[in-house]
Chain A
């Protein structure tokens, strides 16, 4: 036992409370401590994950009360997979921002890193918790950190973005609470496994109503179509790395929550029309909106939303292959989109508007960053031999298994738009002359940021050339998600053995 999943939550919270104290003593610590914490989380998560794969799912109980009564954390191949990605991406974002935030003041930097850490911790919490109300609390932690990070820069429209996010976030929190109320009143429990075990006894009408409110409650974090108005604004106005964190961490947590709810809580077997429909609409609206964006980050944001839609469609197929594809897509997106955000943020460092035209010809000035951006763009649009190709292939293969030709065609057509807008940016970056009048002043990227980018690029290439390095993990995770009974048994039977 290398540690306990609860440390994934406890350590960052402890650190968050500690940082202000450290900051009084040694100013640099506010930058370093979060990094250490995130590194430790990554290590912990990865080692737990390996252990989980080799032995069995860890169900951690809290306060010594067995699952139906106490809160429990579930560290399974699925949640472990996601937590590892999230903590790792959190570390990467920290690494990138470490010097990036040097030019802001101490107070601001301190808060930035606290928010970042808690964003990761909250997302991890969403994933590993086994209790719906607890999930709600973590969603709120993520929400408030995200509002604060969005509004981080003063003097921009960031407050506007954060406010929109906040409106949507609190409305969704309300919806989530209503769903929790319905569930609790009908089943008398908040534990996911218990709910899942008893869901068949629930009045079908309330079941559907609860599900609807759940979808809406989580939909804001998962960026599904009519609820994602905040997302492009927030991605655009938040600091560059935070955009990466949103797409790489928060959105993943939202998707996970929604999927866990659909697959486990409500135990829906077979294709889920609702996810497919919502996912497709999200995909279409987002990708077509991205086509004419003038701001780089906004375009990336729409692209990110679109990818989330794609993931939902993949989950909506409800088959093993579909879930596999969805998790693969999530993995790739979690790595590639931050890569794009981070490199894009370097490219547009010296401008606040972040217009695409401002990066005209930047490749001459910042070749390495540009190449990494292109790598990300190629990966996200699914060009082999980069990582995105395999996940897109897995997706199409899953869709073909289900004979969903229409969906395959739609998604491929939408992908054409994706290719178009990414290549427009690549063209601007590489194949236009640098122009002093419109292009921004190049920024010398920091050492730490470059390491972060290189690590991401390496992963993209690794998955691209050798997808089998990750597919085994994804396979286990997909099995885990689909096996609801196993989940229920693991949680509840563990409860039987340890009674205080």
Chain B
């Protein structure tokens, strides 16, 4: 098992772990804030995963500096990086909305416990 493999498993493994941790928080924590944190952790894990698939052995950043025009072969895939940028921003937007909703919910229900906020059901 060479280093590439290790890095790969490390990156993927970490991201999977993050996804699971985030899901755990979403599924078990009662506080709305913690659930949002959980969602953010899931997002983080997925972003890591996304970055991870762009990795190549001994890669460099996909930025051309003068004289590095021939380094194309060693450059990592820039697409996941662009995608992750978008994904992060979107995740940020969603989190902001979620937090504002939490504020509204707290204003309305005076609690942050998700199982006490179920006026709408069935």
Contact flag (A, B; Cβ within 8 A) = yes
Q: Which residues of A contact B (CB under 8 A)?
A: 133, 137, 140, 143-144, 147-148, 151, 154-155, 157, 159-164, 166-167, 169-171, 173-174, 177-178, 180-181, 184-185, 190, 232-233, 236-237, 289
Pairs of residues from A and B, 6 with the lowest C-beta to C-beta distance, nearest first: A159-B104, A185-B53, A233-B120, A157-B119, A163-B101, A140-B90
**Given known contacts A171-B39, A173-B94, A236-B120, is B101 in contact with A166 (CB within 8 Å)?**
yes
C-alpha spacing A467/B39, complex, angstroms: 47
Q: Which residues of A contact B109 (CB under 8 A)?
A: 160
B117 within 8 Å of A by Cβ? Answer: yes
Q: Is there contact, CB below 8 Å, between A159 and B108?
A: yes
Closest Cβ of chain A: how far from B88's Cβ, in Å? 11
Count A-B pairs with CB separation below 8 Å: 85
Q: Is the CB of B120 within 8 A of A157?
A: yes
Residues on B with C-beta less than 8 A from A161 are 120
Are the CB atoms of B80 and A184 closer together than 8 Å? yes
In the complex, which residues of chain A have a beta carbon less than 8 angstroms from the beta carbon of B39? 167, 170-171
- Bound Cα distance A289, B122 (Å): 7
Say if the beta carbon of B76 comes within 8 Å of chain A.
Answer: no
Q: Are B53 and A140 in contact (CB under 8 A)?
A: no
Chain A: CB-nearest residue to B32: A163
26 examples of A-B residue contacts, CB within 8 angstroms: A133-B83, A144-B97, A147-B97, A148-B97, A151-B101, A157-B108, A157-B120, A159-B105, A160-B105, A161-B120, A163-B32, A169-B94, A170-B39, A170-B42, A171-B42, A173-B90, A173-B94, A174-B19, A174-B43, A177-B50, A178-B46, A181-B50, A184-B53, A184-B79, A184-B83, A232-B120
Say yes or no: A167 contacts B94, CB within 8 Å: no
State whether the Cβ of B60 lies closer than 8 Å to any Cβ in chain A. no
Q: Beyond A171-B39, A174-B46, A236-B120, list 18 extra A-B contacts (CB 8 Å).
A: A137-B90, A140-B93, A140-B94, A144-B93, A147-B97, A154-B104, A157-B108, A159-B104, A159-B108, A160-B117, A160-B119, A161-B120, A163-B32, A164-B120, A170-B42, A171-B42, A178-B49, A233-B120
Which B residues are CB-close (under 8 A) to A233?
A: 120
Partner of B49, one of A133, A167, A181: A181
CA distance A155 to B105 in the complex (A): 10
In the bound complex, what is the Cα–Cα distance between A433 and B86 (angstroms)? 57
Bound Cα distance A243, B29 (Å) = 31
Query: Shortest distance in angstroms between A212's beta carbon and chain B's nearest beta carbon?
Result: 15
Residue positions of B touching A, CB distance < 8 A: 19, 26, 32, 35, 39, 42-43, 46, 49-50, 53, 79-80, 83, 86-87, 90-91, 93-94, 97-98, 101-102, 104-105, 108-109, 117-120, 122
- With A177-B50, A184-B79: A163-B105 Cβ-Cβ less than 8 Å: yes
Known A163-B101, A166-B98; contact A177-B26, beta-carbon cutoff 8 A: no
B122–chain A nearest beta-carbon distance, Å: 7
Chain A residues, Cβ within 8 Å of B118:
160
Separation in Å of the A265 CB from the closest CB of chain B?
Answer: 17
Interface contact A181-B105, CB-CB below 8 Å = no
Contact in complex: A167, B53 (CB < 8 Å):
no
Q: Which of A143, A160, A185, A289 has the most CB of B within 10 A?
A: A160
Bound form: Cα–Cα A160–B98 in Å: 11
The listed residue with most B CB atoms (<10 A of its CB), out of A140, A163, A237, is: A163
Contacts of B46 in A (CB 8 A): 174, 177-178, 181
Q: What is the distance, in angstroms, from A177's C-beta to the closest C-beta of chain B?
A: 5
- The answer, among B53, B102, B119, for a CB contact under 8 Å with A181, is B53
